[in-house]
Chains A and B, each alone.
Chain A
Amino acid sequence: GQQVMQIPQYQHVQEGEDFTTYCNSSTTLSNIQWYKQRPGGHPVFLIQLVKSGEVKKQKRLTFQFGEAKKNSSLHITATQTTDVGTYFCAGLNQAGTALIFGKGTTLSVSS
């Protein structure tokens, strides 16, 4: 079945270092979404990418959607302790009815 894979599963960085998480789908996606889940919290929507090769920025966060619309990345520049959490990517299932989430990348940041 359709799968969305994320790497790495865990990442620890020193505050100020950059961080990137990668998302790969087994099938072409119509769009991809990114969510952040703080420890003890619930997932919160960050952004949606729709177009092939699309790049969007939110302050220190840069999101990319691959040309083939099968992969995506989230890059955080100069991480801060507030960036701690698990970042999930998600793509629509083949029926177009629900999001298939990756297993997430858990980011920890030490100051």
Chain B
Amino acid sequence: GAGVSQSPSNKVTEKGKDVELRCDPISGHTALYWYRQSLGQGLEFLIYFQGNSAPDKSGLPSDRFSAERTGGSVSTLTIQRTQQEDSAVYLCASSSRREGTDTQYFGPGTRLTVL
């Protein structure tokens, strides 16, 4: 596609429920990132996928968070047993990771609200 797309754009859920957020990266981009942005805050790195390599999960805040990337393209971020502090905008970005540059193209984000 022309850019990174994410769905849903908004998600309201009840505390304790599981949610799945989806990211469609730019076609041909081998790198995919998930970030979390709380209101008025910066971007918090969550997880990074590069090609077929094992993902860098160092940013995941707890074991309730997981992500997968199927076929090197679409990625889903799953949050189990959601908590109110999980409320934030979840941003996905992709990159071609050409040598010497790593420009990241961000999707519009999914705004998650946990009641």
- Interface set of A (CB-CB < 8 Å, partner B): 31, 33, 35, 41-45, 48, 50, 88, 90, 92-93, 95, 97-104, 106
Range of interface residues on B (Cβ < 8 Å): 20 to 34
Q: Are B106 and A42 in contact (CB under 8 A)?
A: yes
- Interface set of B (CB-CB < 8 Å, partner A): 33, 35, 40-45, 48, 50, 56, 58-59, 91, 93, 100-109
**A92 to B100 alpha-carbon distance, docked (Å):** 12
Of A41, A50, A97, which one neighbours B56 at CB under 8 angstroms?
A97
Q: Are A98 and B48 in contact (CB under 8 A)?
A: yes
Q: Are A103 and B56 in contact (CB under 8 A)?
A: no
Given contacts A98-B33, A98-B56, contact A45 B45 (CB under 8 A): no
Q: Are A104 and B42 in contact (CB under 8 A)?
A: yes
**A102 to B104 alpha-carbon distance, docked (Å):** 15
21 contacts between A and B (CB under 8 A): A33-B104, A42-B107, A43-B106, A45-B103, A45-B104, A48-B103, A88-B42, A90-B43, A92-B102, A93-B45, A95-B58, A97-B48, A98-B33, A98-B56, A99-B33, A99-B45, A99-B102, A99-B104, A101-B35, A102-B42, A103-B41
